[in-house]
Amino acid sequence: MISTRLVSSVQAVLATGSGIVIIRSCNDVVAGRHWLAREYVWFLIPYMIYDCYAMYLCDWYRARDQNRAHSLTLRSFLSRNRLMITHHAVILFVLVPVAQRLRGDLGDFFVGCIFTAELSTPFVSLGRVLIQLKQQHTLLYKVNGVLTLATFLCCRILLFPFMYWSYGHQQGLSLLQVPFRIPFFCNVANAFLIAPQIYWFSLLCRKALRLFDNPQAKKDG
């Protein structure tokens, strides 16, 4: 639904803006502080719950239009959306406690970096809306696809080397030395965070290749 995409885009703009403010305010990447690093998380929690409910409604309406609404159970919904639901669950039950309590007063800079990962969401949402409006053949759709790939690559994948580089730059370490100088659980957490991003980026790249390589895809999406 278009309204759902709009809500996601607004949240993404707010998260990205908050992240940029936090990053620019933290001169020390470990001990630097900004109040948004904690307070914005309280806005993020209800959004994640809303987004899960919105995904279920979208599936339900899609199933109803195909005369199979009776077959949409909670189990089937979770099965079809297991990666996204897992993503949201990890944010709610792991990242939120870490951001609010477990990290103490350290790491606001890195929380801000994670917030900026939402920069790609408005472009992803616009792409879905254009598909819904059957505008896959338009220049806007192709330009938006390029912007989606660029923002996703920069803010969801290259973001992690940037965080390592920022820490290393402050501590006088090279990028390759950083993983061996930080707590092991930090590397594990980052690996779990980046893994689904790499998977989703690969899906976006495949879709982009089909769009630009297959003329028929311009019409059919």
Tell me the pLDDT tens digit for each residue of 46-68.
999 998 888 888 777 777 767 66
Contact 101, 7 (CB under 8 A): no
Query: Please, what's the b/e burial string for 12-22 (b: 16 or more CB within 10 A of its CB; e: otherwise)?
Result: bebbbbbbebb
Question: Residue 97 sits in which domain range?
Answer: 1-213
pLDDT at 221: 45
Task: Give this prediction's pTM.
Answer: 0.86
Q: Which comes out higher in pLDDT, residue 219 or 202?
A: 202
192 inside domain = yes
pLDDT for 72 equals 65
Judge whether 85 and 78 are in contact, CB under 8 Å.
Answer: yes
Q: Is 219 inside any structural domain? A: no
Rounded alpha-carbon distances, angstroms, from residue 92 to 44, 49, 84, 201 = 9, 9, 12, 23
Judge whether 17 and 40 are in contact, CB under 8 Å: no
In this predicted structure, what is the pLDDT of residue 218? Answer: 47
Domain count, the chain: 1
Asked whether residue 12 is assigned to any structural domain, the reply reads yes
- For the residues 9-32, what does the mean pLDDT come to? 96
Please give the structure tokens belonging to residue 15. 């998260």
Tell me if 200 is assigned to some domain. yes
Backbone angles phi, psi at 215, to 5 degrees: -55, -35
Q: SS3 sequence, 149-163? A: HHHHHHHHHCHHHHH
Structure tokens belonging to residue 80: 């079809």
On whether residue 220 sits in a domain, the answer given is: no
- Domain assignment present for 135: yes
Residue 11 CB coordination number (10 Å): 19
- Answer yes or no: is 121 within a domain: yes
- pLDDT, residue 162, reads 97
What are 143's two structure tokens? 């330009």
List of residues 6+ apart from 46 with CB closer than 8 A: none
Mean confidence (pLDDT) of the chain: 88
Domain presence at residue 221: no
